[in-house]
Structures are given as structure tokens and as C-alpha cells.
């Protein structure tokens, strides 16, 4: 009798702790799911099979290292299948007491129903006339949601919860024989830590366990979005998260806080123009200076164009003055034209023996015209600075200035790029001898 009372008190204490650590507004445990596979009658064979399972399964679960047990008894059509799982952070005595109570409550909450599931915080139990042990189906989920919402952005909080549950699920599936793990994750100043717990039935393979957990974790944003706590509970796997501690012992995993969201872009700044010492803004200064600069450039351009035009006019006037078109001038020049071939014959093709001298504008050659007249041929070099226009002006001037005291111009040749002036030859004489008669 004392043992029975001690077990009762331990169960009561466990359930009380679960109440205190469960800030959910849903109805408190037990939570039940009553199936639709049929009913049994009082004291019939199926009820007898359930009673036999209730006598053995709690002990088997508590004695198991994984706090898990399954069983079946009887034959068709009264065969009964059962599964009991205690939370991985519990102990054997609390597990046995919880599963025993679950059998009793299942027959009351789902009276005479052949398929019943009863869930407490420390454990859950299912029995059925259907062989659900042969599958890993996690149908008929119980969803428990805290009515309080986070003050942080919902999508950021939901993502943090999923990150924690997925990391914890990875560990539970691959590294725990109980298929159980807990974790905590830093978050923000309002909710410094998020706590999480995941569990599968230990008879599931790592892959089946992770797949089962993945399915219910993906439902979190849909069913529990923004809630500060929640659970999704199935017969094969379940998870829970809170912003307050709710599991025993140290967490299996500790995750750092997720990176802070990027800061919003800075608001556009209205820049006020800086006032100048005169009291006007920089914009006003620009409004004054720019037109002045433009006016100066325009005036400079006009002046430059005017000066260029004036220079052209001066050049044109000079050319008109130098290059006379007077018919008498042109006639006097044409009368002095001598063929290049004549001058080549006269100077033996400008032979060195005929060269009299050489100056800045070219060489001078002695020659004899066909009529016997001796001549001096001034052969302007091609690099001479004296151009055709200047040469023609000189011819016009010299032709007009025939005088006894000046060397007489005999002719000119402007052929084949040659510029040749033909003067009368004055041997051993100069302007001085002519002027002074010496």
C-alpha cells in the first residue's frame, strides 16, 4: 500500500510540475484522440486484452533504457496493439506512473473506444485494434499553441525556432538511442533564449525519425506562427518550444543568436546650402557667377572671330596690293618670259663652270642667248623664302624701273618648279662704277 501511495505522489508531483512549466492556454493534460475503428463492450475479450497490456506495458517502458515499449495481445478480431513513450529527460519511476495513469484515463476519456490516444507532458499512450505499430505514420496531430505573441518580427522569430528545432532534430535522429534531444538558442533582449525539444519513438530508423520531425517542423510557421510557445504532438514524433525553460537537465545543443537583420537604409538627408559671408547661399552665388563666365566666354569668342576676320581682310588687301591685276603689268611680265630650255642651253644646263656665285636666294650662272647677248641667270633655290607672288611683284617692279644706272632685267622663267631671273651680264662692273664713272 505504501508503494502504491508513493507512486501516486510521484505522478502527482510530475503532473504538477508539467502544469507549472506549460504556459499554454489550451486545455491542460491529458489530451486525447478517440479513434473511429469501432467500440468494445464491457468485460469483453478486447477490454480484457487492454487490461493485460496495462499491467505489463508501464513496467516494460520504465525498465527500458529508452523509456519506450510496444506490445500486442490476443487474436483477431479482438487483437489489441499498444505503444507507450516517456519523455527522454524523465526517469523510470515517473515513466511507469505516467503510463499507468494513461491507461486508466484512456478507458474513461475514450470509453469503450477500440482506438484511443492519451497524452501527458511526461508520456503518451496509444492502443488500437489496428496494427499502427507496423507503420511510422504520424497522423492525428495535436497542436497546442500559446496565446501570447512575440514582440519581435514574426518571420524572424519563426525562422529562429525552425533553426533550433532542425538542429535539435538532426542530433536526436542521428546521435541518440532515445531519439530525443533538447536545445537552446539566443534570440533578442525581450526573449533572450528559445528552448526546444524533439523526440521520435526509438524504434524508428534515423532517416524515418528525421523525416517525421521534418514534416512537423515545416508546419510550425503555419500552425504556430508568432506564438511564444507551442507543440505539435504525434504518436511517432513531436516537438515543443518555449521562451522559458521547460525540460530537465542541460540542453543537448546550444546555438548562438541568429545574425541581426540588416539595418534599414538611412533616411534621405535634405542638404541646406551653406550661406556665404554675404548672406547668400551657394546656389545664389552659382546663379550669379555662371552667367558672368558665360558672358565673358561669349565676348571672347566674338572678339577672336573679329580679329581673325580683320586679319584675313588685311591679308587680302596685301595680296591685292602685291598681286596686281593691271593689264599693263601682266603684259610687261609676259614679254619677259624665256623658255627653260633656252636658259639651259645658254648656261650649259647650269654647269658649275658657268656659276658666278651663290647667295641666300640661290646661285647665279653666266650664259649666252642665241642672239649672242651675255646674261646672268639668278636661279632661286626651291627652299627660298621668296614665293611666286613676291617674285611676280619683283618682276613687275623691276620691269617698270628700267634705268641706265640699274642692271637691266632681260627675262624670267617659271617652268618645272624653276624660278629663274635673267639679267644682263656686266663683267667687272658694279653699280658704283656706273654711278661714279670710275
pLDDT confidence bin for 323, thresholds 50/70/90: very low
Cell representation of residue 428: 667687272
pLDDT at position 21 over 50: no
Identify the residue whose cell numbers are 502504491. 4
Identify the residue whose cell numbers are 505514420. 137
Closest CA to 360 of 340, 334, 378: 378
Closest CA to 138 of 86, 210, 81, 196: 210
| SS3 annotation, the chain | CHHHHHHHHHHHHHHHHHHHCCCCCCCCCCEEEECCCCECCCCCHHHHHHHHHHHHHHHHHHHCCCCEEEEEECCCCCCEEEEEEECCCCCHHHHHHHHHHHHHHHHHHCCCECCEEEECCCEEEEEECCCHHHCCCCCCCEEEECCCECCCCHHHHHHHHHHHHHHHHHHHHHHCCCCEEEEEEECCCCCCEEEEEEEECCCCCHHHHHHHHHHHHCCHHHHCCCECCEEEECCCEEEEEECCCCCCCCCCEEECCCCCCCCCCCCCCCCCCCECCCCCEHHHHHHHHHHHHHHHHHHHHHHHHHHHHHHHHHHHHHHHHHCCCCHHHHHHHHCCECCHHHHHHHCCCCCHHHEEEECCCEEEEEEECCCCCEEEEEEECCCCCCCHHHHHHHHHHHHHCCCCCCCCEEEEECCCCCEEEEEECCCCCCHHHHHHCC
To the question of whether residue 378 is assigned a binding role by annotation, the answer is yes
What is the reported pLDDT for 321? 40
Looking at per-residue pLDDT, the higher value among 314 and 358 belongs to 358
What is the reported pLDDT for 30? 93
Q: How many CA atoms lie within 13 A of 360 on its CB side?
A: 2
Phi, psi of 72, rounded to the nearest 5 degrees: -145, 155
Per the CB < 8 A criterion, the answer to whether 173 and 165 are in contact is: no
What is the reported pLDDT for 92? 97
pLDDT at position 336 over 70: yes
Maximum C-alpha span of the chain: 177
- pLDDT tens for each residue of 374-429: 999 998 876 655 556 666 666 666 666 555 555 778 888 988 778 888 888 887 65
Domains in the chain (CATH in brackets) are 2-134 (3.30.430.20), 142-255 (3.30.430.20), 329-436 (3.30.200.20)
Distances (CA, A) of 152 to 19, 122, 148, 429: 27, 31, 12, 121
Looking at per-residue pLDDT, the higher value among 335 and 169 belongs to 169
Identify the residue whose cell numbers are 619677259. 336
Identify the residue whose cell numbers are 473506444. 113
Per the CB < 8 A criterion, the answer to whether 254 and 184 are in contact is: yes
pLDDT at position 192 over 80: yes
What is the reported pLDDT for 184? 97
- pLDDT tens for each residue of 92-151: 999 999 999 999 999 999 999 999 999 999 999 999 999 999 999 998 899 999 999 999
d(CA 395, CA 222): 112
The mean pLDDT value for 193-216 works out to 98
Question: What sign does the CA torsion over 161, 167, 170, 173 have?
Answer: negative
Q: Chain-centre distance of CA 87, in angstroms?
A: 48
d(CA 11, CA 90): 12
Percent of the chain at pLDDT exceeding 90: 56
Per the CB < 8 A criterion, the answer to whether 194 and 160 are in contact is: yes
What is the reported pLDDT for 218? 97
- pLDDT tens for each residue of 46-79: 999 999 999 999 999 999 999 999 999 999 999 9
Closest CA to 141 of 30, 24, 27, 233: 233
Amino acid at each position: 500500500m505504501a508503494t502504491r501511495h508513493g507512486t501516486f505522489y510521484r505522478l502527482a508531483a510530475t503532473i504538477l510540475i508539467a502544469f507549472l512549466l506549460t504556459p499554454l492556454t489550451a486545455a491542460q493534460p491529458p489530451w486525447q484522440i478517440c479513434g473511429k475503428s469501432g467500440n468494445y463492450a464491457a468485460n469483453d475479450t478486447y477490454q480484457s486484452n487492454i487490461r493485460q497490456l496495462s499491467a505489463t506495458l508501464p513496467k516494460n517502458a520504465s525498465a527500458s533504457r529508452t523509456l519506450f515499449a510496444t506490445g500486442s495481445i490476443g487474436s483477431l478480431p479482438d487483437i489489441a496493439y499498444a505503444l507507450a513513450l516517456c519523455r527522454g529527460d524523465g526517469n523510470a519511476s515517473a515513466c511507469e506512473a505516467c503510463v499507468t495513469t494513461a491507461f486508466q484515463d484512456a478507458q474513461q476519456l475514450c470509453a469503450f473506444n477500440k482506438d484511443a490516444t492519451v497524452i501527458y507532458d511526461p508520456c503518451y499512450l496509444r492502443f488500437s485494434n489496428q496494427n499502427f505499430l507496423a507503420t511510422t505514420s504520424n497522423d492525428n496531430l495535436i497542436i497546442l499553441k500559446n496565446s501570447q505573441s512575440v514582440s519581435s518580427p514574426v518571420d524572424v522569430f519563426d525562422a529562429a525556432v525552425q533553426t533550433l528545432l532542425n538542429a535539435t532534430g538532426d542530433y536526436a535522429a542521428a546521435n541518440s538511442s532515445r531519439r530525443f534531444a533538447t536545445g537552446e538558442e539566443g534570440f533578442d533582449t525581450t526573449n533572450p533564449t528559445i528552448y526546444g525539444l524533439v523526440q521520435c519513438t526509438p524504434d524508428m530508423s534515423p532517416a524515418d525519425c528525421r523525416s517525421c520531425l521534418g514534416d512537423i517542423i515545416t508546419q510550425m510557421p503555419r500552425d504556430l506562427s508568432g506564438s511564444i510557445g507551442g507543440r505539435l504532438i504525434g504518436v511517432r514524433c513531436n516537438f515543443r518550444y518555449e521562451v522559458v525553460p521547460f525540460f530537465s537537465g542541460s540542453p543537448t545543443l546550444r546555438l548562438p543568436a541568429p545574425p541581426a537583420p540588416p539595418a534599414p537604409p538611412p533616411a534621405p538627408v535634405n542638404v541646406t546650402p551653406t550661406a556665404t559671408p554675404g548672406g547668400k547661399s551657394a546656389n545664389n552665388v552659382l546663379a550669379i557667377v555662371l552667367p558672368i563666365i558665360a558672358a565673358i566666354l561669349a565676348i571672347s569668342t566674338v572678339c577672336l572671330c573679329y580679329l581673325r576676320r580683320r586679319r584675313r581682310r588685311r591679308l587680302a588687301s596685301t595680296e591685292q596690293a602685291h598681286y596686281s591685276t593691271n593689264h599693263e603689268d601682266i603684259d610687261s611680265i609676259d614679254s619677259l618670259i624665256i623658255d627653260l630650255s633656252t636658259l639651259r642651253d645658254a648656261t650649259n644646263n647650269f654647269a658649275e663652270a658657268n656659276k658666278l656665285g651663290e647667295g641666300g636666294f640661290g646661285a647665279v650662272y653666266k650664259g649666252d642667248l642665241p642672239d649672242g647677248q651675255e646674261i646672268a641667270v639668278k636661279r632661286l633655290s626651291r627652299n627660298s623664302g621668296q614665293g611666286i607672288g613676291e617674285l611676280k611683284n619683283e618682276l613687275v617692279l623691276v620691269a617698270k624701273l628700267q634705268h641706265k644706272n640699274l642692271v637691266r632685267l632681260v627675262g624670267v622663267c617659271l617652268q618645272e618648279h624653276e624660278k629663274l631671273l635673267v639679267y644682263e651680264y656686266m663683267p667687272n662692273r658694279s653699280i658704283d662704277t656706273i654711278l661714279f664713272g670710275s
